[in-house]
Amino acid sequence: METEPDEYHDCFMQDGVLLKQAPSSHMTALNTIGTLYIYEVTRSGESCNKKLLLEWKQNDITVDSDVQYQEWAVVNTVQKRIRTLSENMPEHHNRSKSLKINFDEIKSFKVCNKNRQLTFYDGTSERICGFLFQHGNCEHLVGMLKTILKVGVSRRDKQIYVVYDSNSPEFQELNRSFAALNLKNEDNSFWHMFKHFKENPYEGSLGAFAKVTNFVYRSVEGSDPDILSRDELYSSITELDDGVPHSGGEYEVINALPQLPRRKEFPRCNPLTEEQWRSQFNSLGQLEDVDSIKNLIFRGGVSPTIRKEVWKFLLDYFPWDSTDLDRQQLINKKNEEYYVMKLQWKSISQKQEDNFSDYAQRKCQVIKDVNRTDRTLEFYAGDNNINIQTLGDILMTYVMYNFDLGYVQGMSDLLSPILWLMQDENDSFWCFVGFMEKVMSNFDIDQAGMKEQLTQLRVLLSFIDPVLANYLEKHDCGNMFFCFRWLLVWFKRELNQDDILRFWEVLWTGYPCHNFHLLVSVAILEHESEALMENDNGFTEILKYINELSGKLNMELMLNKAEGIYNQIKEADHLTDSVRSILGLPLIGTKNRGSEEQSSQQESPFESPDLSTPRTEPCCSVDNVRISPDEIAFEKSISSSFL
Amino acid sequence: MAKTYDYLFKLLLIGDSGVGKTCVLFRFSEDAFNTTFISTIGIDFKIRTIDLDGKKIKLQIWDTAGQERFRTITTAYYRGAMGIMLVYDITNEKSFENIKNWIRNIEENASADVEKMLLGNKCELEEKRQVSRERGEQLAIEYGIKFIETSAKASIRVEEAFFTLARDIKTKMEKKLKEASNPPKGGHQLRASEPQKKPTSWLSRCTLL
């Protein structure tokens, strides 16, 4: 005679469950309402002999059950009351009104009909039974099942969950795969994968799952299946669930990824006024509170009346802490310096020039370019324009100032607004020198600076808008090359003269972080993301769209959005050092930057043969980043929750 | 939706900075000339659909920055090109001398069977000419390519240049297609009739619509 169970611990119950499919023994119970239980059975006297069972029991009054139990039709997952045999057991003996399912029998289950229908299968394409959840849905039950069974979403149908039997080939395969992935070693590609995961949640997840799928469905040869103990595997799989109700196939995985904080609005302010500016100088003519001045400029720019003066500070011609006297002396000194350099090239004879091709080449390029720089502005318009002449003279003198860099296309665009404002050759030159200091790497001979910026832009975009970043990657736009013009000349070709003056002075403050212009780019891309991803656009369409944004951008809105993005990034829990280093935020060692750099290099967007040239060092080298034991633990936890 | 064209040809304009690549393109795509032009930063393209022997051909013409400094970036776009216009300025000796460097660039980066054409631009500036027409012709013969002198400003032979290049591409393409559908000994596909040493041929990627 069968030993009667001693105790039942209810783990779960849900009412309002219609039996839709059942074995022939339970035909009479079909389409009747009942309650689903999961309970733990402990056999008498053997506390270690516990078994879980799933049971559906027909309600006594089926017709009225809907009305009668409406209120508690929700779910009870936590209550663990002890039922004694004497109280409830009679129901268990009524075989046709109760259906018990042993968890061992379940090989897969399918969730469909908006999570209202759940069907269990025994692995031979035969149904064990099916239930329709009339009140609420089966999300909680599925959540429970996932803590009891080791399940994974089917490759063929994301509504189907496959149960991994510890003896099944799949499970063994999975076990071996984990072993092959060598989870213990934090320095291998597996960890890099998860670092990338953290960095680019969307792309990362796609890539990572593709890898896991490969591992799971392909045999792993020559690997030792015992490197990882089964218990560890179990726990890592169990942690996957993490109490998150699973409702839509794999979507919850995305939801479980770190979320950005809510974006805040940062309205632009009025420009720094002459009064505010003057009031900041002490009796020696020194600025008292440079930070607050810079902040005001960042927030609203500079009033046109004082722009000429303020720019000299912003462009590091005048030191921020200089006195009136310092500046007077500086002007004289710099003036002299300028004219000495100008004389150097002005005194080169035609014969010398003919024998000095490096020089001749630079001069030729300068002349070509000044003649096509902002000629629509009145200041530069017309034949034999003196300002064009001056523009050329300054650029030629800059060639003498920095001969190795020389003249690169785009520089005339950077100088033009400065000369337009200053209307003074010497001042313009030194302000231009200051601007060039800020953007020097844009003009690297091997374009390394531009390539690095485009890569950084991609990293930032992936952090803010992984959907768009992933789309671009999939459509041959991962190199971000369509943003080249934006970055090379800081939006000079995209904005009108008034806007560019305002935009540049805001950027020159260096507030609120390094590379703010990249965040502006992210803001625009995000703003345009719908249009960019329309009609399966590829590189050609995207480049055209971006080029045609010229003259249509709302500069103040871009700055506003970019600042909102900056604050989102700064406050994000999952902020990594690779993002921090781009924005010049203090590094805290959350990420091995080496892996990031490596992966970017592998997917180098530029495929021309010249690209074998070494990339410039990232702002943050691997050496700067230490990985603490805590961090390893953190990354491991991330990895286990994603697997 | 009905296709508005039969073939799509991707063309590329290269040559020294300031030889008039953008102006040639502007003349061809908009039939206009702007005296207040600007230097090209990065890369851009224009579209014009032409009728050629009863076929509608959509020309997607890419314009690149000319300065040496940007070559590492612009050469990435050579590969997909079916035709390349090599442009020099007849009033600038150096730009003509540099054509051989541009040719080398093509050989290194473009597909082997890309159609090439030499363009001597600014031919309206006869009084400033530094490169004779004969030298242009001679260079073209040397490289086995066609040559034409144009003026974007005065609208001289720009149409002719693009139509010639497009026709040459079309002829080459149709010849290959014919070979593919009527192989000499039968049974061979396009890929097989294509010499194996030219795996990067644009013909294998060419868009047929």
B67 vs A481: CB contact, 8 Å cut-off?
no
pLDDT of residue A196: 52
Q: Are A379 and A389 in contact (CB under 8 A)?
A: no
> What average pLDDT does this structure show over A339-365?
96
A373 vs B38: CB contact, 8 Å cut-off?
yes
Q: How does DSSP classify residue A287?
A: B
Which residue type does A54 have?
Answer: L
Closest alpha carbon to A498 in A563, A420, A394: A420
Question: Which residues in A lie closer than 8 A to residue B42 (C-beta atoms)?
Answer: 481, 484-485, 488
- The pLDDT confidence band at residue A486, using thresholds 50, 70 and 90, is very high
pLDDT of residue A244: 43
- On whether any CB of chain A is under 8 Å from the CB of B205, the answer is no
- On whether any CB of chain A is under 8 Å from the CB of B80, the answer is no
Angstroms from B120 CA to nearest CA on chain A: 18
pLDDT of residue A192: 53
pLDDT beyond 50 at A237: no
Smallest Cβ distance to B109: which of A368, A381, A608?
A608
Domain assignments of chain B as residue spans, ordered by start: 7-180
Distance CA A566, CA A464 (A): 10
Q: Determine how many CB atoms are found less than 10 A away from the CB of residue A66.
A: 15
DSSP per residue over A556-579, as a string?
HHHHHHHHHHHHHHHH-TT--HHH
Q: Which of A165-169, A638-642, B81-85, B116-120 shows the lowest per-residue confidence on average (mean pLDDT)? A: A638-642
Smallest Cβ distance to A547: which of B17, B44, B66?
B44
- The pLDDT confidence band at residue A53, using thresholds 50, 70 and 90, is confident
Distance CA A455, CA A453 (A): 5
- On whether any CB of chain A is under 8 Å from the CB of B127, the answer is no
- On whether any CB of chain A is under 8 Å from the CB of B46, the answer is no
Q: Which residues of A touch chain B, with CB atoms under 8 Å apart?
A: 364-365, 368-369, 372-373, 375-376, 381, 408-410, 412-413, 443, 445-447, 450, 481, 484-485, 488-489, 493, 540, 543-544, 547, 606-611, 613
Distance CA A386, CA A393 (A): 10
Taking CA atoms, B182 is separated from A443, B138, B179, B185, in Å, by: 53, 37, 5, 8
Smallest Cβ distance to B37: which of A372, A481, A609?
A372
Question: Which residues in B lie closer than 8 A to residue A412 (C-beta atoms)?
Answer: 39
pLDDT of residue A289: 95
pLDDT of residue B101: 94
A488 vs B42: CB contact, 8 Å cut-off?
yes
A608 vs B17: CB contact, 8 Å cut-off?
no
pLDDT beyond 90 at A28: no
**Closest-CA residue of chain A to B108:** A609
pLDDT tens digits, A560-593: 999 999 999 999 988 989 999 999 999 887 644 4
A368 vs B39: CB contact, 8 Å cut-off?
yes
pLDDT tens digits, A493-513: 999 999 999 999 999 999 999
Answer with the residue of higher pLDDT: A352 or A574.
A352
Angstroms from B43 CA to nearest CA on chain A: 8
Question: Which residues in B lie closer than 8 A to residue A376 (C-beta atoms)?
Answer: 36
Q: Are A481 and A457 in contact (CB under 8 A)?
A: no
Angstroms from B200 CA to nearest CA on chain A: 14
- Which residues, 6 or more positions from A210, have their beta carbon under 8 angstroms from its beta carbon? none
Q: Where in chain A is the domain with CATH 1.10.8.270?
A: 274-443
Query: Which of B29, B69, B77, B96 to mutate against chain A (most A CBs within 10 Å)?
Result: B69
Task: Give the rounded distance of the alpha carbon of B46 from its chain centre.
Answer: 13
- On whether any CB of chain A is under 8 Å from the CB of B185, the answer is no
B76 vs A484: CB contact, 8 Å cut-off?
no
pLDDT beyond 90 at A346: yes
User: Across-strand partners of A7?
Assistant: A42
SS3 of residue A6 by DSSP: strand
Angstroms from A127 CA to nearest CA on chain B: 46
Return the residue matching tokens 């192989």: B183
pLDDT of residue A129: 86
Superfamily (CATH H level) for A451-501+513-585: Ypt/Rab-GAP domain of gyp1p, domain 3 (1.10.472.80)
Question: Which residues in A lie closer than 8 A to residue B67 (C-beta atoms)?
Answer: 365, 408-409
Question: Which residues in B lie closer than 8 A to residue A413 (C-beta atoms)?
Answer: 41
Q: Are B112 and B200 in contact (CB under 8 A)?
A: yes
A481 vs B72: CB contact, 8 Å cut-off?
no
Query: Which of B63, B73, B88, B105 to mutate against chain A (most A CBs within 10 Å)?
Result: B73
- On whether any CB of chain A is under 8 Å from the CB of B43, the answer is yes
Cα radius of gyration rounded to whole Å, chain A: 34
pLDDT of residue A17: 87
Classify the C-alpha dihedral A513-A514-A517-A522 as positive or negative. Answer: negative
Question: Which residues in A lie closer than 8 A to residue B43 (C-beta atoms)?
Answer: 481, 484, 543
Task: Tokens for A352, please give them.
Answer: 């010398």
B75 vs A493: CB contact, 8 Å cut-off?
no
The per-residue pLDDT string of chain B (209 residues; one tens digit each, 9 = 90 and over) reads 557 899 999 999 999 999 999 999 999 999 999 877 899 998 999 999 999 999 999 999 999 888 888 887 778 788 789 999 999 999 999 999 999 999 999 998 888 889 999 999 999 999 999 999 999 999 999 999 999 999 999 999 999 999 999 999 999 999 988 888 876 554 444 443 444 444 445 554 444 44
pLDDT tens digits, A178-205: 555 544 444 444 445 545 554 455 544 5
Smallest Cβ distance to B76: which of A488, A544, A607?
A607
Of the CA atoms within 13 Å of residue A414, those in its CB half-sphere come to 31
- On whether any CB of chain A is under 8 Å from the CB of B197, the answer is no
pLDDT of residue B194: 41
pTM passes above 0.90: no
- Helices and strands counted in chain B (H then E): 7, 7
pLDDT beyond 50 at A619: no
Cβ burial A345-365 (10 Å sphere, 16+ → b, else e): beebeeeeeeeeeebbebbbb
Distance CA B202, CA A558 (A): 41
Distance CA A613, CA A447 (A): 10
A512: preceding bond cis by omega (within 30 degrees) = yes
Distance CA A432, CA A399 (A): 12
Which residue type does A634 have?
Answer: F
Distance CA A429, CA A415 (A): 8
Q: Are A121 and A127 in contact (CB under 8 A)?
A: yes
- The pLDDT confidence band at residue A159, using thresholds 50, 70 and 90, is confident
Task: Tokens for B53, please give them.
Answer: 């022997």
Distance CA A103, CA A55 (A): 10
pLDDT tens digits, A394-438: 999 999 999 999 999 999 999 999 999 999 999 999 999 999 999
Mean pLDDT, rounded, of chain A: 77
B45 vs A446: CB contact, 8 Å cut-off?
no
pLDDT of residue A169: 61
Taking CA atoms, B111 is separated from B57, B77, B115, in Å, by: 21, 11, 9
Query: Which of A409, A441, A450, A616 to mutate against chain B (most B CBs within 10 Å)?
Result: A409
Query: Which of B70, B96, B104 to mutate against chain A (most A CBs within 10 Å)?
Result: B70
SS3 of residue A446 by DSSP: coil
Q: Are A378 and A456 in contact (CB under 8 A)?
A: no
Distance CA A166, CA B78 (A): 55
**Closest-CA residue of chain A to B67:** A409
Q: Which of A240-249, A254-263, A291-300 has the highest mean pLDDT?
A: A291-300
Q: Are A641 and A239 in contact (CB under 8 A)?
A: yes
Distance CA A337, CA A428 (A): 13
CATH 3.30.300.30, domain B7-180, yes or no: no
Which residue type does B172 have?
Answer: K
Distance CA A580, CA A425 (A): 39
* 3-state SS track over A386-404: HHHHHHHHHHHHHHHHCCC
Q: Are B168 and B146 in contact (CB under 8 A)?
A: yes
Q: Determine how many CB atoms are found less than 10 A away from the CB of residue A555.
A: 20
Residue contacts between A and B (CB atoms, under 8 Å): 84
Smallest Cβ distance to B72: which of A364, A447, A543?
A447
> What average pLDDT does this structure show over A238-265?
56
Phi, then psi, of A463 in degrees rounded to 5: -70, -40
Angstroms from A207 CA to nearest CA on chain B: 26
pLDDT of residue A19: 87
Q: Where in chain A is the domain with CATH 1.10.472.80?
A: 451-501+513-585
Question: Which residues in A lie closer than 8 A to residue B17 (C-beta atoms)?
Answer: 365, 368-369, 409
Angle between helices A386-401 and A411-422 (to 10 degrees): 120
Q: Tell me the CATH number of domain A274-443, given options 2.40.30.10, 3.40.228.10, 1.10.8.270, 3.30.70.100.
A: 1.10.8.270
pLDDT of residue B116: 97
Return the residue matching tokens 């930032």: A460
Q: Are B47 and B59 in contact (CB under 8 A)?
A: yes
pLDDT of residue A9: 79
- On whether any CB of chain A is under 8 Å from the CB of B41, the answer is yes
Return the residue matching tokens 């009351």: A81
Angstroms from A483 CA to nearest CA on chain B: 9
Smallest Cβ distance to B72: which of A410, A412, A446?
A446
Q: Give percent of chain A with pLDDT exceeding 70.
A: 69
Q: Which of A27-31, A377-381, B18-22 shows the lowest per-residue confidence on average (mean pLDDT)? A: A27-31
